[in-house]
């Protein structure tokens, strides 16, 4: 759990998302963040939790996650059984912000447990305990997902989507993205600009050999390696090519772009 007294996470605002999220939190509206992998969704939630002075509980959703993983379960002990709250229940009781990251990875029969929390009821039923929890006044639910990975099998039901207000995220504009790289890693402006240029080239290949564009996160990795003494070319191949493709032709195309940009 992130604590509100921790140092502020670095976040560079792109438009007016900070003010809009603040308004959503003031009304305790549930929030949905949509955008590609590594574009800053999770960092934004961390920053807003810090700015609002609220603890943050983050859950990385996956296809094996059950409702019990969110709500809690009975544990067998020497003296009998003991109930242990799950992360969602803990947030509901304590008034934390609960962030369900990549919620479409979870099974739909798991995600429906959030429905009573996301309308006027703001309640969480714990059927195993016969308990109905009324959410703490400061509780808020935030979910995120990548629309680029949606399919008929991995999508949110309309009955879930229409319980949230939404934010669309994308990779920052080039100038902002370069500023992020410099602030996060200390890399020089000239190198930051080259890395952002490479990202733009790779992102234009999405749907033409690449399933997803280069994330800002991977650019930060490349800049971190460069600042650590790795040659720019090796750092770019390690961070910007190998993670996103196994295709020999695509690897060659991306490597050629790196050589052209770095000179």
Domain parsing of the chain, residue ranges: 17-168, 174-262
Q: Are 1 and 50 in contact (CB under 8 A)?
A: no
Give pTM, 2 decimals: 0.90
Pick from 151, 158, 67, 74: nearest CA to 106: 67
> Residue 1 pLDDT > 80, yes or no?
no
Whole-angstrom distance, CA of residue 129 vs CA of residue 74: 9
Q: How confident is the model at residue 39 (pLDDT cuts 50, 70, 90)?
A: very high
Question: pLDDT for 12-27, tens place per residue?
Answer: 999 999 999 999 999 9
Pick one of 3.30.750.24, 3.40.50.300, 3.50.50.60, 1.10.10.10 as the CATH number of 17-168.
Answer: 3.40.50.300
Q: Tell me the longest C-alpha to C-alpha distance in the chain.
A: 69
Question: pLDDT for 107-143, tens place per residue?
Answer: 878 888 999 999 999 999 999 999 999 999 999 999 9
> Residue 2 pLDDT > 80, yes or no?
no
In this prediction, what percent of the chain has a pLDDT beyond 90? 82
Whole-angstrom distance, CA of residue 196 vs CA of residue 219: 7
> Residue 65 pLDDT > 80, yes or no?
yes
Question: pLDDT for 4-13, tens place per residue?
Answer: 456 789 999 9
Quick one: residue 152, left, alpha or beta (phi over 0 = left, psi -120 to 50 = alpha)? alpha
Tell me what the pLDDT averaged over the chain comes to: 93
Give the pLDDT mean for 53-65. Answer: 95
């Amino acid at each position: 759990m992130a604590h509100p007294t921790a140092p502020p996470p670095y976040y560079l605002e792109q438009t007016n998302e900070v003010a809009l999220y603040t308004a959503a939190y003031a009304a305790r509206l549930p929030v949905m963040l949509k955008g590609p992998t590594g574009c800053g969704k999770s960092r934004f939630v961390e920053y807003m939790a810090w700015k609002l002075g609220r603890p943050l509980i983050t859950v990385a959703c996956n296809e094996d996650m059950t409702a019990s993983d969110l709500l809690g379960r009975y544990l067998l002990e020497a003296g009998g059984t003991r109930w242990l709250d799950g992360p969602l229940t803990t947030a509901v009781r304590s008034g934390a912000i609960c962030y369900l990251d990549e919620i479409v990875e979870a099974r739909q029969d798991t995600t429906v447990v959030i429905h009573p929390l996301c309308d006027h009821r703001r309640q969480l039923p714990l059927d195993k305990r016969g308990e109905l929890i009324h959410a703490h006044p400061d509780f808020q639910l935030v979910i995120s997902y990548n629309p680029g990975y949606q399919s008929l099998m991995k999508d949110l039901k309309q009955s879930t989507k229409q319980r949230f207000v939404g934010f669309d995220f994308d990779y920052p504009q080039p100038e902002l993205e370069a500023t992020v790289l410099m602030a996060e890693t200390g890399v020089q402006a000239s190198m930051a600009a080259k890395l952002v240029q490479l990202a733009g080239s790779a992102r234009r290949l999405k749907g033409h050999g690449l399933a997803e564009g280069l994330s800002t996160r991977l650019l930060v990795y490349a800049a971190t390696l460069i600042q650590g003494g790795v040659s720019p070319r090796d750092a770019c191949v390690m961070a910007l090519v190998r993670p996103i493709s196994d295709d020999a032709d695509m690897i060659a195309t991306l490597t050629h772009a790196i050589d052209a940009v770095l000179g």
